[in-house]
Structure 1
Amino acid sequence: MYFSNYKNFPNAVINPSLLWEYNIGKVDYTSMRNIVVQRVVERGWPQDWYAMLNLYGIDSVKKAIKELPYLNDKDMNFVSQEFDIPLTALKCYTKKQSVQTHWNS
């Protein structure tokens, strides 16, 4: 895993700009786990990944990733490979597969 050394960065913090629309002083990181994980996956730097993994742990991050309703193809494939999660176990993948596209698109 690329971020397997996350425990070497115990002081890492999530960049507040990832949660720009929330009052950072009042953010409950426990109840907002899926939002935080999605923002870090989509827009986070390595420092944000280290902070997220230290905050939630690998198992909790994996669970959140499986529950995310949307990720673009690049992010979806990255987390699938990085966390050894089959694409079919991701809600965003199965949701995307169930959407019918027009035959000419």
Structure 2
Amino acid sequence: MKNTKLKMFDPKEFSPHLFWDVIVEDIDFQKSKVWLITRVVQYGNLDDWKKLLDLYGEEKIKKEVVNIRSLDDISISFLAVYFSLNRKDFRCYTQKPSTSDFWKS
């Protein structure tokens, strides 16, 4: 069963700065949902978050965010509070990259 919300979805409803490096018309938002969720969580505003919830639903987003490989600490904190999760439930919190962040000493 296809998601009818996804068929009627217009990416122009999101903030344009989320798509600074891609051609929006070329994106398959069903296949690229993890990419869109990551972009909205890290760079979006509250309206973008609400549109994302409307598009995919809380359960689908919750299922995807715990498996994202890289999120900043602020995004992890927001998601943990929103979904009532422990920070250790996130893959990106427990499996940090082996290289350190360039800007942090």
TM-score range, shorter chain: 0.7 to 0.9
Distance 1:99 1:52, change over 3 A: same
Runs (4+) off by over 4 Å: 98-101
**Which protein has greater RCO, CA pairs closer than 8 Å, 6+ apart?**
1
Structure 1 unmatched runs, 5+: 1-10
Aligned to 2:26: 26
Q: Which amino acid aligns with 1:14?
A: F
Structure-1-length-normalised TM-score: 0.75
* Structure 2 unmatched runs, 5+: 1-9
CA offsets 1:79-105 (integer angstroms, 9 cap, x no match): 101111221211111112x8598xxx6
TM-score (normalised: structure 2) = 0.75
- Kept in 2, the 8 Å contact 1:68–1:91? The answer is yes
Number of residue pairs matched by the alignment: 91
Matches within 5 A, 1:25-104: 25-96=25-96, 99=98
Q: CA RMSD in A?
A: 2.3
